């Protein structure tokens, strides 16, 4: 049975070989020893005595707080465009999609029954299935009730998100929409759609999700890429207590 000293020595060795790896390794070991403790395989969790090793500084990547995301989402707008835009922002935050992945979605890519999104145009041409939270599904369902009013002859009838001309919505329009919602919500932090993606990953980590599952959701080929997102999470993850998304359980927010 490994002691806290054994694990710390191991993490130090890993850092010497690759400076960016210890944080991801720390998260994995935290979950491993928490599981062993719950299963009765060990009596003491050695990770509770270990602090996360510091790493070389890197440029800060924009991440919204949970309150900022909530304010961006809750901008009041019951117009057709407002209902569509709320669904777009909810989906960015819930599923952690890239811009090209969201604008490339078709209606058939949404599985409401299984609460999943099929990403067929992922980075590098890779496909994946991503779970979607209840709040995002409710917004999508509301959008689907009025979506036909965006459909125009000669338009992109299969596309999930349509513009006023009935065509598949463009990335530039989405970014402009997010900027407008941020301004109305008095959110002055930098970042747009990709900051929502990073925020989703960071908030999931803060609420206890294992980093390897976030890696799969984001469609990262290498764990080190996901680990960069973890740097935005300032919470102490030694007391991980549950896997949850900040908007998966909220009611009436």
pLDDT tens-digit profile of 153-206? Answer: 999 999 999 999 999 999 989 999 999 999 999 999 888 888 998 899 888 888
pLDDT value at position 241? Answer: 33
Q: Are residues 51 and 72 in the same domain?
A: no
Residue 137 counted as domain residue? yes
* 2 membership: H or E segment, kind and range: none
Q: How far is CA 222 from CA 47, 64, 138, 198, 218, in A?
A: 24, 24, 32, 16, 11
pLDDT band at 37 (very low <50, low <70, confident <90, very high): confident
Domain range for 22: 1-57
**pLDDT tens digits, residue range 92-138?**
999 999 999 999 999 999 999 999 999 987 887 788 999 999 999 99
DSSP label of 106: B
Residue 204 counted as domain residue? no
pLDDT band at 140 (very low <50, low <70, confident <90, very high): very high
> Looking at residues 42-70, what average pLDDT do you find?
72
> Looking at residues 142-150, what average pLDDT do you find?
97
Q: How far is CA 242 from CA 5, 34, 206, 237, 250, in A?
A: 26, 11, 10, 11, 15
Q: Which of 13, 30, 57 is a domain's end point?
A: 57
pLDDT value at position 238? Answer: 36
Q: Are residues 92 and 186 in the same domain?
A: yes
Quote the number of domains for the chain.
Answer: 2
Q: Are residues 102 and 174 in the same domain?
A: yes
Q: Are residues 19 and 71 in the same domain?
A: no
Q: Are residues 77 and 43 in the same domain?
A: no
Q: Are residues 76 and 45 in the same domain?
A: no
Residue 47 counted as domain residue? yes
Contact criterion met (CB below 8 Å) for 223 and 20: no
Burial class of 59 by CB neighbour count within 10 A (0 to 12, 13 to 18, 19+):
exposed
Asked if pLDDT for residue 148 goes beyond 60, the answer is yes
pLDDT value at position 35? Answer: 81
Q: Are residues 153 and 72 in the same domain?
A: yes
Q: What is the CATH number of the domain that holds 174?
A: 1.10.443.10
Which residue stretches of 96-210 are H helix? 99-103, 134-146, 171-184, 193-206
Residue 151 counted as domain residue? yes
Residue 9 counted as domain residue? yes
Question: For the CA atoms of the chain, what is the radius of gyration?
Answer: 20
Residue 73 counted as domain residue? yes
Give Cβ neighbours of residue 246 (< 8 Å, ≥ 6 apart): 66, 69, 203, 207
Residue 40 counted as domain residue? yes
Contact criterion met (CB below 8 Å) for 150 and 54: no
Residue-averaged pLDDT of the chain: 81
Asked if pLDDT for residue 63 goes beyond 50, the answer is yes
Token pair of 196 as six digits:
């929502």
Contact criterion met (CB below 8 Å) for 65 and 82: no
Give Cβ neighbours of residue 79 (< 8 Å, ≥ 6 apart): none
Asked if pLDDT for residue 229 goes beyond 70, the answer is no
Q: Are residues 39 and 97 in the same domain?
A: no
128 pairs with which residues across the strands? Answer: 119
Q: Are residues 113 and 25 in the same domain?
A: no
pLDDT value at position 242? Answer: 39
State whether the Cα torsion 175-98-93-134 is positive or negative.
positive
Contact criterion met (CB below 8 Å) for 129 and 119: yes
Q: What is the rounded distance in angstroms from the CA atom of residue 245 to the CA atom of residue 253? A: 14
Q: Are residues 11 and 98 in the same domain?
A: no
State whether the Cα torsion 173-177-180-186 is positive or negative.
negative
Residue 51 counted as domain residue? yes
* 119 membership: H or E segment, kind and range: strand 116-119
The set of catalytic residues is 98, 123, 194, 197, 220, 229
Q: Are residues 79 and 139 in the same domain?
A: yes
Q: Are residues 47 and 139 in the same domain?
A: no
Share of the chain above pLDDT 70, in %: 75
Burial class of 225 by CB neighbour count within 10 A (0 to 12, 13 to 18, 19+):
middle
Of the listed ranges 50-64, 74-88, 226-240, the least confidently predicted one is: 226-240
């Amino acid at each position: 049975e490994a002691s806290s000293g054994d694990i710390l020595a191991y993490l130090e060795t890993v850092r010497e070989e690759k400076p960016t790896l210890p944080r991801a390794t720390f998260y994995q070991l935290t979950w491993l020893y928490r599981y062993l403790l719950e299963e009765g395989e060990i009596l003491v969790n050695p990770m509770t005595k270990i602090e996360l090793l510091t790493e070389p500084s890197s440029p800060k990547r924009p991440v919204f707080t949970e309150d900022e995301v909530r304010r961006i989402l809750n901008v009041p707008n019951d117009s057709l465009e407002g209902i569509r835009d709320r669904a777009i922002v909810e989906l960015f935050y819930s599923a952690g999609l890239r811009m090209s992945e969201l604008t490339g979605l078709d209606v058939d890519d949404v599985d409401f029954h299984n609460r999943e999104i099929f990403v067929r145009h992922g980075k590098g041409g890779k496909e994946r299935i991503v779970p979607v939270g209840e709040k995002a599904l409710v917004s999508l369902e509301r959008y689907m009730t009025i979506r036909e009013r965006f459909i125009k002859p000669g338009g992109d009838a299969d596309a999930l998100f349509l513009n006023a001309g009935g065509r598949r919505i463009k990335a530039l329009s989405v970014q402009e929409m997010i900027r407008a919602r941020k301004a109305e919500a008095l959110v002055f932090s930098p970042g747009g759609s990709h900051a929502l993606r990073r925020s989703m990953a960071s908030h999931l980590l803060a609420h206890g999700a294992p980093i390897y599952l976030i890696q799969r959701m984001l469609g990262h080929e290498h764990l080190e890429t996901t680990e960069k997102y973890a740097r935005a999470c300032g919470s102490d993850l030694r007391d991980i207590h549950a896997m949850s998304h900040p908007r998966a359980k909220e009611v009436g927010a």
